[in-house]
Amino acid sequence: MSTLSKPATVVSWVAQLAALVILAMAGFMKLSGAPDSVALFQTLGAEPLGRYAVGAFEVIAVLLLIRPATAAWGGLLAIGLMGGAIGTHLFKIGVAYPGDGSLFMMALVVFIAGAIVAALRRQDLPFGN
* pTM to 2 decimal places: 0.95
DSSP state of 93: I
What is the rounded CA–CA span in Å between residue 54 and residue 60?
10
Q: What pLDDT, on a 0 to 100 scale, did the predictor assign at position 1?
A: 66
The answer to whether the peptide bond before residue 98 is cis (omega within 30 degrees of 0) is: yes
DSSP state of 123: G
Whether 7 has a pLDDT exceeding 90, the answer reads yes
Q: What pLDDT, on a 0 to 100 scale, did the predictor assign at position 3?
A: 87
Q: What pLDDT, on a 0 to 100 scale, did the predictor assign at position 2?
A: 66
Burial 60-96 (b: 16+ CB within 10 A, else e): bbbebbeebebbbbbbbbbbebbeebbebbeeebeee
Give the pLDDT confidence of 46-68 residue by residue, as tens digits. Answer: 999 999 999 999 999 999 999 99
Residues 6+ apart with CB under 8 A from 55: 26, 27, 28, 29, 30, 31, 37
Give the pLDDT confidence of 86-105 residue by residue, as tens digits. Answer: 999 999 999 999 899 999 99
Q: What is the mean pLDDT of residues 27-56?
A: 98
